[in-house]
Amino acid sequence: MSAPLKIYFVTSNEGKVREANAVLRRYGLAVVPYPARKLELQSESLEEVASYAARSLAGKVPEPFFVEDSGLFIYSLRGFPGPYSSYVYRTIGLRGVLKLMEGVSDRRAKFVAVAALCLRGEIHVFRGEVEGIIALQARGAGGFGYDPIFMPLGSNKTFAEMSTEEKCRHSHRAKALRALAKYIIDEVVREHSGNSCA
């Protein structure tokens, strides 16, 4: 059996690394966390944020590598916090978001993740989304970020109440990473078939 292909993940978030490994190892990819400072673009578009960060790291991080940016979009708050989710989490936290939702009957939200892959110097972007609702209170000790207050549709558990494997069956990040993995595998197969003498 051939050794897994290494793919570098530019992040310091151990939870993201754990989830990426759970998804990508099924495709024969081994995730290696890589500590590098990303340039953060202020933009309403997660695609722009992720692709800008990946471009800024091209030539500085071994390839293939990817960066990932995600956001929680709450419909009754007109998509807030969206691309500013990490800043909002650091400043007002889960308690602040739940406070904003007090008395709000429409608790629909979606989680979006965008992974930007750098392969042979080119940037490729993959998006994943999951619809859900904001719980009335934080529940669960697993996961990270907004996981304790987000329940995907079809589940009565928040992401923080799920195991990593269970979360990855639903999650926005897993969807983006599965698309990324399929692209890499297609490229590797195409490269090998192109080099074949048969």
Cβ–Cβ under 8 Å, residues 98 and 77: no
Per-residue tokens: 140: 């669960």
| 69 in active site | yes
Cβ–Cβ under 8 Å, residues 179 and 126: yes
Instruction: Note every long-range contact of 48-55, with CB atoms under 8 Å and residues 24 or more positions apart, other chains counting.
Output: 49/83, 49/114, 50/114, 50/115, 50/116, 50/125, 51/116, 51/123, 51/125, 53/10, 53/116, 54/116, 54/117, 54/118, 54/123, 55/118, 55/123
Name beta bridge partners: 118.
65, 123
Catalytic residue among 69, 106, 147, 186: 69
Per-residue tokens: 48: 């722009």
| The residue to which tokens 């578009």 are assigned | 45
Cβ–Cβ under 8 Å, residues 183 and 124: yes
**Nearest one of 3, 6, 15, 13 to 62, comparing CA atoms:** 6
| DSSP at 79 | T
User: What is the set of active-site residues?
Assistant: 69
